[in-house]
Amino acid sequence: MATFKDFRNKVKPNWCPGCGDFSIQAAIQRASANIGLEPEDLALVSGIGCSGRISGYVHAYGFHGIHGRALPIAQGVKMANRELTVVASGGDGDGFAIGMGHTVHAIRRNMDITYIVMDNQIYGLTKGQTSPRSATGFKTKSTPKGSIESTLAPLELALAAGATFVAQSFSSNLKQLTHLIEEGMKHKGFSFINVFSPCVTFNKINTYDWFKENIVNLDDESSYDSNNRTMAMAKIMETDGLACGLIYQDKDKGSYEQLLSGFKEEGLANQDIALNKEKFEQLVAEFQ
């Protein structure tokens, strides 16, 4: 049985020392081992940005996609190889700017994949510009007088789009983060996990200390019901999007694959897809 060490490779991450992405990588590796996966059972797809490098740092199938396109690729991988556990990962710029259209439709489609957003509220790889998650008034190289735009609210967005699994965590809380990724991987449907991952180089506002002072841990609230969508939305708004834990889960709605008539459990790689002459001629006749 694999341990988290089996999900390590020999590629050394080149993230800045102190970057929250290190913890997210560790959480993915630990979660994968904890639910009994082997490296060949996991496919990790990433986009562009600091977070995009993660697909090369984990011993599993990895695909480093293009900016904002991690989710279409991940969905394609899942459709072709249904037996794989598929995780897509990207930053807040990747998922909430250029890739926003894909994010919304992937959520409502409810395919059985896990999407982990490494949210540092800034563009890190391109050296510090305002992202859709930056606060109003946030000053960067692209908004030197302060951003005049509203901050995008990813948890509200996910719920409004019909998400069946919504969670949020903080990269410093490795225990909670690992558990949420485990539950997201086991959930039969689209699992959306937003993770506060401080950028220690370019974001001097949303620091580790800032998050520790402001996040609200739902694990400490015994009365909170993560099966109640109305309560989930109210809690997100009440905490200004800073609630951490399992926000909402709907276990009753079938995943895209479960609802797709005739979709085989066995992946294409293991199917005999060769066409004999009779079948080929039958298919051609349909177009005549």
Predicted confidence (pLDDT) per residue in 101-142, tens digit: 999 999 999 999 999 999 999 999 999 999 999 999 999 999
Q: How far apart are CA 25 and CA 37, in angstroms?
A: 16
Q: How far apart are CA 37 and CA 121, in angstroms?
A: 32
Position 137 scores a pLDDT of 96
Predicted confidence (pLDDT) per residue in 260-282, tens digit: 998 888 888 888 888 889 989 99
Q: How far apart are CA 129 and CA 123, in angstroms?
A: 5
Rounded average pLDDT over 196-221: 96
Predicted confidence (pLDDT) per residue in 218-252, tens digit: 999 999 999 999 999 999 999 999 999 999 999 99
Give the CATH number for residue 166: 3.40.50.970
Q: Please tell me the total count of domains within the chain.
A: 1
Predicted confidence (pLDDT) per residue in 132-165, tens digit: 999 999 999 999 999 999 999 999 999 999 999 9
User: Which among 52, 92, 102 is positioned nearest to 194, based on CA atoms?
Assistant: 92
The boundaries of the domain holding residue 50 are: 4-285
The residue whose two tokens read 């109305």 is: 230
